[in-house]
Structure formats: structure tokens, C-alpha cells
Structure 1
Amino acid sequence: MRTFDLTPLYRSAIGFDRLANLLEQRADAQPSYPPYNIELVSENNYRIVMALAGFSRAEIEIITERDALHVTGRKQKDEQQKTFLHRGIAARDFEQRFQLANHVKVTTASFDNGMLTIDLVREVPEALKPRKIAIDGGENVQVIEQPQAA
């Protein structure tokens, strides 16, 4: 198993210790069920697509809490006993957690043909967007222009 030493990052970066901790946690994590993709749709739009074969809408729960997204699947027990010659579809309970960056919100979720699609958007408040500031000799700070976000 590979290990990554992120100590140099702690020494040379200020305020990125949380990012380093997240990277360490992800590096130690094992591949998990169910399989998923994270897509960059546009500059501020993202999509998570999860393959949930054997689940129904009623068995899936999506919860957002602060900067985390939790997707949980609880498979209902079959009342009749089945005998499998081969069982390739797991259909077991799962809990998947995604750490969301600042200002990322879930906009929609859909479930079609065993694929769960969750759309996310990054909405940075105007007060936090970069501004170009004029330099003058006085106490007044004058905003020349506000760069347009794409």
C-alpha cells in the first residue's frame, strides 16, 4: 500500500491543513460500493452519477448537511427466499459521503434506469468574488471594475 507524506505541504502552505487532511483520508480509503462518477459539466456545475442496480427510489435517501452530501441506500428484505446460481448484482446497503467545497449546493437529483444523478452548482457570493482595486495616494479605495465570472 502506498503512503503519502504531506508534511512538506503543511510547512509551505498556510490555511491548507484541512485540504491536506482530506487528501490523506481519501488516500487511505478503500474503493467503495456503489460505483460512481464525478463530472465537471461547466466551470461552476458538477454532476455525480451513481450506478444503483436493484434499488428503487424509495430505498435511496439523499441528505445535505453543511459541507457534506450523504447518499444512503437501504435495500428492503425480500419476503421470499431465492436460490442463486450466480449472484453478480450486490444490491447491498450502502452509505456514500462526499465532501463539498465551499459554496457548492445540490440543485437536483434524479433516478432513471438504475442511475442516480445528482447535479451540483458552485454559487460564490458577490462579496467573495475578486475585485480590481485602484491604487491612489489617499485614504479612499475606489473599485474600478468587477471581473465577470464565466
Structure 2
Amino acid sequence: MRQSFDFSPFRRSAVGFDRLFDMLESSASAGVGENYPPFDLIKAGDDRYRVELVVAGFRRDEIEVTSHQNVLLISGRKAEEPGRDYIHRGIALRSFERRFALADHIQVTGADLHDGLLTIDLVREVPEAMKPRRIEIGGTVPRHDRIEAREQRQTEPA
């Protein structure tokens, strides 16, 4: 059984983390009773991930994978097959929808369906502008010294 967690003390002291707290609160409430289809989350490398879902009985055209605004949405809709008279139906072919929250800069690089296993590959692609870069220290006069020297020259009588 899941218990709710109050994030309000953190909200008061953390600036700019509203989306993170909203995501944590919504995932805590949305996860109750949600277990179909079963899935695995795999770390395939430093910046590579894989989501594997068991979707036995679904064809490629019955599954939709969408990535939009840091959310990976996987849905499946199985049409009723007329003319079948089931005595027992044990294979779960109900429609489903799975949502995964993606961190910033996580991109979907591919999806494949093979032997009832849907595999979605993800990679973290951090833009060059956001990567740390080394700043070389030069041997020039500090900027504040140049400003003071210029001010002294302007105040001296000519």
C-alpha cells in the first residue's frame, strides 16, 4: 500500500522545482492499481536507457508510442475479432496506456516489436551549451583594474 507524502515543506524552500514536485505527487497517486502491461526499465549505458513492455497479442499497428514534453506515452488498442467463440480467454488483450516521465534532454531513439516484447531505446543528449566547459585563465590585467585606471585618466586635468 502506498502512502502519500507531503511535499509542502520542500516547496517552500525550493525555487523552480514545482514541476518535479507535481510529477512526484501525480506519480504516487497514478501508480495505484496500474500494472498492465508489465515492463522493465534498463540502464544500457551512462546516457542510454531502454524500456521493455510485454505486449503479447498486439500487432505493430495496434500500438502507438508518443514522446511529447518530457512524457513518453505508450498505448495499445486491440480491436475485437468477430467470429471467435472463446471458452476461456486468459490472454489479456485489454487496451492500455503507460506513461513515463522523462528527464530533460532524454530523447527516444527507436522502438521495436519482436516476439511480443516492445523495446523503446532512449538516450540523454545534453546540448553543448549546457555541458560544463573549462575556462582558461589568462595573464591579462583584471577588468576592475582597467576600469579604475580609465576613471583616473578621465578625472586628471589636461
Q: TM-score, normalised by structure 1?
A: 0.83
Equivalent residue letter for 1:73? G
* Residue correspondence of structure 1 range 58-137 to structure 2 within 5 A: 58-85=61-88, 87-133=89-135
- 3-state SS, counterpart of residue 127 of structure 1: helix
- 3-state SS, counterpart of residue 89 of structure 1: coil
Aligned-pair RMSD on alpha carbons?
Answer: 2.0
Please report how far the alpha carbon of residue 45 of structure 1 lies from its aligned counterpart in structure 2 after TM superposition. Answer: 0.5
- 3-state SS, counterpart of residue 4 of structure 1: coil
User: Identity rate of aligned residues, in percent?
Assistant: 46
- 3-state SS, counterpart of residue 44 of structure 2: strand
Give the unaligned 5+ runs of structure 1: 141-150
* Residue correspondence of structure 1 range 26-45 to structure 2 within 5 A: 26-29=27-30, 30=32, 31-45=34-48
Q: TM-score, normalised by structure 2?
A: 0.79
Aligned length: 139
Q: Deviations over 1:4-58 (max 9, x none)?
A: 1111221232211211111111111122321111111111101000000111112
After the TM superposition, which segments of 4 or more aligned residues of structure 1 sit over 4 Å from their partners?
134-137
Q: Deviations over 1:62-85 (max 9, x none)?
A: 122232222111102111132233
Equivalent position of 1:9 in the other structure: 10
1:56 is matched with which residue: 43, 56, 59? 59
Change (3 A) 1:132 1:8: farther
